[in-house]
């Protein structure tokens, strides 16, 4: 990387406290887990008899670190896996559970790996185990139901299994036999996954009919169930249009029963696809692609509003992230596991800031995936464990959860070396009591960005910074160097109005501003 220089103070950030966008629901800081590669087996689940420290079979290091992120919600069991999953396989005595072919077993990469739980699902981690994981880290569970190969009855009996009061139904008895006499209860239910593809190859209109059938009757048990429809693939606006049109063909009633529609957008990779091999131009390319989330949200939202005039239905971005190739040095069975770099941390910052800025539209988001997979916060193999730069961004941004998102205008010069991928400073700001949280991504690989920060009609009394960066844009945490990338705190900023701050090159920064 070339020597870094300082730019003149030509950037400004103006925070407009009177212009509230909405409350940042903690749920946009959610995660996603799937029976895919090393995510569940040897990632989350190590088994009760493992020598790896565990809590009832769940990796203890994961529980301890995940709690720090205040994870609001975790989605499970897929992804594409969900539409071939029979939840009954994963309950009852562990030693009698069936083994099934995993949805991903035939992928080129995995088919060459040795046989194991990644290819032949042993069902050792099931509903009760997932719910224990959620309880132990304080997250709400979000189940992805099986629409392609399961029935509406399977779907509502899973709800009955989780939510019916002790002693009332055969399902509640089954749950009690698994050690959980009391209902959990589970509120979020996805009706299929990617129903335009692996979830059944439906058209938006055909799926709307199936969706209506699945949710037409389900037992409630006093729980305010939130149904999430399978939504569009990236910019498939025709899907959103046709789903909503068909949903209301017999009247607007079904709109009352849709909590959200699930948008999936992976910003992908660049060049060779190897997570830590990229040029500065490819650095910008990936960040530019991450920035596309903004347009996807506003465009789908506009189409949804043509039918949903009362804006009952929100967007749920339940799969997002960068997606690089598998790193075979981790484990040959861990499909799509790799060590995320600083570049992926900036992808996270750009995306979470986008969600904050659209707090009025996005009701939930789930980074794909939590562990040993795409865009992960955690990597583990056997006893080895590390948090990734993505984890640090979630940790820094947790301060936004539950705050009011405030309109914030950023004007800054374009980042250097990226004419074909125009990028500049970007961020989001939220208010809580007498403080503001301002998160900013500086994509420029070589320039500091001196920036004047104003909060309209308010004085910034004091400020603290937390900065995630590295002199090497390819930096990443590995099992050998788990602390190579970690945030640095600066408690002694010179505050005042205007407040001038220099954003480091290739960085994600959180500023905690005390206002009076």
Please name the helix (run of DSSP H) or strand (run of DSSP E) that holds residue 365, with its range, or none: strand 362-368
CA angle (474, 71, 443) in 5-degree steps = 30
> Which CB sits closer to ligand AHR, 235 or 450?
235
Q: Is 282 a catalytic residue?
A: no
Side-chain half-sphere CA neighbours of 21 within 13 A: 25
Tell me how far, at minimum, the Cβ of 358 lies from ligand AHR, in Å.
22
**Long-range interactions of 247-250: CB distance < 8 A, separation 24+:** 247/208, 247/211, 247/212, 247/307, 248/307
193 near ligand AHR (CB under 6 A): yes
Annotated catalytic residue: which of 319, 383, 450, 483?
319
Instruction: Indicate which single residue of 26, 29, 33, 34 sits in contact with ligand AHR (rule: CB under 6 A).
Output: 34
> Interface with ligand AHR by CB under 6 A: which range of 19-27, 72-80, 145-153, 392-400?
72-80
> Which CB sits closer to ligand AHR, 101 or 497?
101
Instruction: Indicate which single residue of 38, 79, 145, 280 sits in contact with ligand AHR (rule: CB under 6 A).
Output: 79
Tell me how far, at minimum, the Cβ of 264 lies from ligand AHR, in Å.
6
Task: Report the residue closest to ligand AHR, judged by CB.
Answer: 79
> Which CB sits closer to ligand AHR, 145 or 183?
145
Q: Is 210 a catalytic residue?
A: no
> Interface with ligand AHR by CB under 6 A: which range of 61-69, 75-83, 340-348, 409-417?
75-83
Total residues belonging to the chain = 516
Tell me how far, at minimum, the Cβ of 313 lies from ligand AHR, in Å.
20
Instruction: Indicate which single residue of 140, 157, 194, 344 sits in contact with ligand AHR (rule: CB under 6 A).
Output: 194
141 near ligand AHR (CB under 6 A): no
- Give the separation between CA 516 and CA 514, rounded to whole angstroms: 7
> Which CB sits closer to ligand AHR, 262 or 431?
262
Annotated catalytic residue: which of 194, 210, 383, 446?
194
Tell me how far, at minimum, the Cβ of 339 lies from ligand AHR, in Å.
17
| Residues 465/495, Cβ–Cβ less than 8 Å | no
> Which CB sits closer to ligand AHR, 85 or 288?
85
80 near ligand AHR (CB under 6 A): yes
**Furthest-apart CA atoms within the chain: distance in Å:** 70
Tell me how far, at minimum, the Cβ of 202 lies from ligand AHR, in Å.
14
The 3-class SS string of 146-191 reads CCCCCCHHHHHHHHHHHHCCCCCCHHHHHHHHCCCCCCCCCCEEEE
- How does DSSP classify residue 45? B
Residue 284's alpha-carbon distances to 265, 344, 377, 416, 441, in angstroms, are: 18, 11, 22, 10, 12
| Residues 322/375, Cβ–Cβ less than 8 Å | yes
280 near ligand AHR (CB under 6 A): no
| Residues 28/394, Cβ–Cβ less than 8 Å | no
> Interface with ligand AHR by CB under 6 A: which range of 67-75, 76-84, 131-139, 403-411?
76-84
- Give the separation between CA 15 and CA 4, rounded to whole angstroms: 28
The interface with ligand AHR within residues 319-338 (CB under 6 A) comprises 319
* Helix then strand then coil, % of the chain, to nearest 5: 30, 30, 45
**Residue 440: partners with Cβ closer than 8 Å, 6 or more residues away:** 13, 353, 410, 425, 426, 427, 451, 503, 508, 509, 511
CB atoms within 10 A of CB 354: 25
Tell me how far, at minimum, the Cβ of 154 lies from ligand AHR, in Å.
19
* Angle formed by the axes of helices 152-163 and 127-137, nearest 10°: 50
- How does DSSP classify residue 325? -
Tell me how far, at minimum, the Cβ of 34 lies from ligand AHR, in Å.
5
Tell me which residue has tokens 């959610």: 30
The interface with ligand AHR within residues 365-384 (CB under 6 A) comprises 368-369, 374
440 near ligand AHR (CB under 6 A): no
Tell me how far, at minimum, the Cβ of 94 lies from ligand AHR, in Å.
25
Instruction: Indicate which single residue of 26, 78, 192, 232 sits in contact with ligand AHR (rule: CB under 6 A).
Output: 78
> Interface with ligand AHR by CB under 6 A: which range of 77-85, 94-102, 339-347, 451-459?
77-85
- Give the separation between CA 414 and CA 423, rounded to whole angstroms: 6
What is the size of the binding site for ligand AHR (CB under 6 A)?
A: 10
Question: What amino acid positions are annotated as catalytic residues?
Answer: 194, 319
**What are the residues binding ligand AHR (CB under 6 A)?**
34, 78-80, 193-194, 319, 368-369, 374
């Amino acid at each position: 990387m070339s020597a870094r220089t300082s730019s003149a103070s030509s950037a400004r950030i103006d925070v407009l406290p009177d212009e509230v966008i909405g409350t940042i629901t903690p749920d946009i800081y959610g995660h996603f887990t799937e029976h895919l590669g090393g995510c569940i087996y040897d990632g989350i689940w190590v088994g009760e008899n493992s020598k790896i420290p565990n809590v009832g079979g769940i990796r203890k290091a994961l529980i301890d670190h995940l709690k720090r992120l205040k994870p609001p919600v975790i989605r499970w069991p897929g992804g594409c896996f969900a539409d071939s999953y029979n939840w009954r396989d994963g309950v009852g005595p562990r030693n009698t559970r069936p083994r099934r072919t995993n949805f991903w077993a035939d992928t080129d990469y995995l088919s060459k790996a040795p046989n194991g739980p990644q290819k032949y699902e042993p069902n050792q981690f099931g509903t009760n185990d997932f719910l224990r994981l959620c309880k132990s880290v304080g997250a709400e569970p979000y189940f992805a139901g099986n629409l392609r190969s399961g029935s509406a009855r399977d779907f509502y009996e899973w709800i009955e299994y989780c939510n019916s009061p002790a002693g009332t139904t055969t399902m509640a008895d089954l749950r009690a036999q698994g050690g959980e006499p009391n209902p959990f209860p589970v509120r979020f239910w996805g009706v299929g996954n990617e129903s335009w593809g692996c979830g059944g190859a439906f058209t938006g209109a055909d799926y709307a009919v199936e969706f209506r059938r699945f949710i037409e009757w389900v037992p409630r048990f006093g729980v305010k169930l939130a149904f999430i429809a399978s939504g569009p693939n990236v910019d498939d606006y025709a899907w959103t249009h046709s789903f909503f049109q068909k949903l209301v063909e017999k009247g607007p009633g079904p709109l009352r029963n849709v909590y959200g529609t699930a948008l999936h957008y992976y910003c992908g990779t660049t060049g060779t696809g190897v997570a830590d091999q990229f040029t500065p131009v490819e650095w910008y390319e990936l960040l530019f692609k991450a920035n596309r989330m903004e347009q996807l949200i506003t465009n789908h939202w506009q189409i949804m509003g043509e039918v949903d005039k009362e804006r009952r239905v929100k967007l749920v971005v339940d799969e997002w992230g960068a997606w690089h190739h598998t790193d075979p040095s981790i484990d040959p069975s861990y499909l799509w596991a790799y060590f995320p770099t600083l570049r992926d941390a900036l992808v996270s910052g750009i995306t979470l800031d986008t969600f904050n800025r659209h707090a009025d539209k996005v009701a939930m988001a789930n980074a794909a995936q939590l562990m040993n997979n795409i865009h992960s916060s955690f990597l583990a193999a056997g006893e080895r464990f590390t948090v990734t730069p993505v984890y640090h961004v979630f940790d820094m941004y947790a301060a936004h959860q539950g705050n009011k998102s405030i309109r914030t205008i950023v004007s800054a010069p374009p980042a250097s070396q990226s004419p074909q991928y125009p990028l500049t400073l970007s961020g989001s700001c939220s208010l809580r009591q007498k403080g503001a949280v301002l998160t900013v991504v500086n994509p420029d690989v070589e320039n500091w960005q001196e920036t004047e920060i104003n909060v309209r009609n308010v004085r910034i009394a004091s400020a603290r910074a937390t900065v995630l960066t590295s002199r090497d844009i390819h930096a990443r945490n590995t099992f050998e160097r788990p602390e190579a990338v970690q945030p640095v705190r600066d408690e002694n900023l010179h505050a005042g109005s205007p407040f001038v701050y220099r954003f480091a090159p290739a960085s994600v920064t959180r500023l905690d501003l005390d206002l009076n």
